[in-house]
Structure 1
Amino acid sequence: MTKLDQIKGKVSEAEDFARKIWLAGLGAYGKSFDEAQGRYEKLSAEATKLFDELVVKGEKLETEAKDKIKAKTNVEERVAEVRAKLGLDKPSADEKVEELSAKIDALTDAVAKLAAK
Structure 2
Amino acid sequence: MVRTFLGVIAGLVTWAVVATILDIGVRYGIPGYREAEPTLLFTLPMKIARLSLAVIASLGAGFVTRLIAPASRMAPWIVGLVMLALFLPSHIQIGARLPLWYHLFFLLTLVPLVVLGAQLRLPGRRP
Same fold (TM over 0.5): no
Which has the larger Rg? 1
Q: TM-score, normalised by structure 1?
A: 0.26
Higher relative contact order (CA 8 A, sep 6+): 2
